[in-house]
Amino acid sequence: MSNQIAAPIPIALRRETRIITTDEVVAGVQQSTAVSSTPVRGIKEDDYSVPAPPPPSPINFPRESWTPMKRH
């Protein structure tokens, strides 16, 4: 067993914290949306290629090992 006890740690509050007003939030959102978010360079045709198909299964499943389903 541990000799440690879980206890809350007192945290001193900062005096310089202030509440942000709605006007400040709106102004910040407007500033961030005013900046163009277009990429510096576009995606070119050779930038992406289709991945290769997966390798064949290492387990061999011959058709003879499968028994057909019997219908009643």
Q: Structure tokens of 44?
A: 């070119």
- Dump pLDDT digits (tens) for 22-72: 999 999 888 888 776 666 677 777 777 788 888 877 776 666 555 666 666
3-state SS, residue 64: helix
pLDDT of 24 reads 93
Lowest mean pLDDT segment, chosen from 2-11, 15-24, 47-56: 2-11
> d(Cα 40, Cα 32) in Å, to the nearest integer?
17
